[in-house]
Structure 1
Amino acid sequence: MKQTAVSGENRSQALGAAVLPGASIRARLLKDKWVYLLLAPGLLYFIIFKYVPMWGVMLAFQNYSPFLGFWKSEWVGLEHFRVFFTNPEFTMLLRNTLLLSFYNLLFYFPAPIILALLLNEVRLSLYKRTIQTLIYIPHFISMVIVASLTYVFLTTEGGLINEMLQKYLGFKINFLGSPEWFRPMIILQTIWKECGFGTIIFLAALAGVDTEQYEAAIMDGANRWKQLWHITLPSIRSTIIILLILRMGDVLDNGFEQIYLLLNPLNRENAEVFDTYVYMLGITQGAFSYSTAVGLFKAVVGVILVLGANKLAKKFGHEGIY
């Protein structure tokens, strides 16, 4: 009888323990209700505009007709992917997209890091804040305005740069119509527009570096360069790696608006990428299923690259995104 009573008591405790987690969750929700209320708009945004539209990937496996709808359109399986991969333009699109992403990683990705390191060395607070404000401003300028400024500076008909070239060197360069100048223009636009804003994350990471390490390094006779190499960079290495991993997900995503505004028949050979190709087929030609297949291909490749980069980072002993 005693053993039965003890076992019954243990069973009651187990049942009580099973109920407690649910109660603790409710308690946390009530305790932090204002925090979750603040989270709600962002959460609803992602649910409505990011997760719900995922049902649209069904179009990639259909010969979609707007008059028949999702469920009555003809299912064609992987036919659109087969057509896409055998399309002669696939090689051109892949080459242009990967080259732009590679140049972005090579030139743009280190730029905010270098700029943040330089700003971190500025000791005059007013001067530092002024520079930060000036380099942040381009981020808030519309890409349409940036493209318009590019046109004003580089056009052969009265463009400032070409007028100077004509005056001092006696010739003009068709920057906007030359395929070989397209990629440098895109990279320079990206650096000018986003570099300053990108320093925010790295400056925040630099603010968390223990100042005692610098004091100890100075006592040991380390100059600025040695402090930078042995203290500053290792302290923000995890931030750099995480951002690099996330950047890998955008390898096939170069940004539609920026490229579309500078795309023209003369530079299409180097300018056409997956983003503009999807727009041209899906919006202007109504090939909804085919363009969805192209977009799905981009998304899958992006996920694979992020997971692969994360695994590689962990293999070498660094922190990943999960």
Structure 2
Amino acid sequence: MEKRGVVTTTVCSAPFLKPAKAQAQHEGMSSVPFVKILHPMATAPLQTVVEQVKEALPQITHALTIAGEQEEKQTSQNDREENLLTINGGVEEVFELFHERGWTDGFPIIPPTEINVRAMLSQSVYSPDTTLGLLPPAMNPVTVDKLAVNAVMAGCVPEYFPVILAAVEGLLDEDLALYSMQTATNATAPLIIVNGPIVKILCLNASGNLFGPGSRANATIGRAIRLALINIGGEIPGITDPATHGQPGKYTFCIAEAEDESPWQSLHVERGYAKEQSAVTLIGAGGPQNLFTYGCKTGEEILETFVGALCGLGHNNIIFPSGPLLVLGPEHAGTLATVSVR
């Protein structure tokens, strides 16, 4: 409406003021006025709501009828023009500078030197300046060279880069609804599931502790995606990312399927790919929940426990249409398969 010349003001509660202003800046409308109200309002008594409305009306009127003060435009992490940095110092100095500028996830990074980035780009079929799409919420272009920089920072070896490229193409699919995921108070994050021969080639963990530490491939591929979401997509915790609690999967969230141990077709084969092909699947997922089946003796009892847990009150499954993701170990999968429960 503002771009069409219609004067507007945005009314939002206090916790959402920073995300709203940041998004307005991303859209080139940093001068749009905002009116702040108390939070929460949805559960407030009617009298409180009425009082808040009365208090806000003069501010709304002022914003709509009098030219508000132009807010000083801040330079975000993604507005910087520097393509190359010269730093006198070691790895520690590089990390401190990058962290100060908001280019990290809080953990130390590998310096993205020209040599390291070129090595990463050697595994790409695209030219470095190829744009894969626009990454929300800032809607900045994702170029292959920028992606390579973040992959180096995450600690990836060049052989991981094709998986990262495929994962980013999945991120940009509208069906994933990444914009909503990036800017929600919910704790969802993109989970990467890798299938096919590439799993063994890269030594991705598809067995015990696959959601935990230990595998460089799982850890750094997932981290590269998160760094790209921060540095290219403009996802800034506490500003454009207003997640209430967050979750560990927002550091890294990458697993693989143990296809040889599964009694069923693998995920990518079910979705139309050949077994000999490698594929990446993405889903917006909350933090993993352990399902305890002690005492269950049959496949039916195991399934009943799973269904009860997946339908529990408070789960995202209740309101989101994409459905739950159930990750089974070989023992549970084998038991369910023998009794034809699927």
TM bracket (short chain): under 0.3
Higher relative contact order (CA 8 A, sep 6+): 1
- When the two structures are superposed, what TM-score results if normalisation uses the length of structure 2? 0.23
TM-score when scaled to structure 1? 0.24
More helix by share: 1
Q: Which has the higher strand share?
A: 2
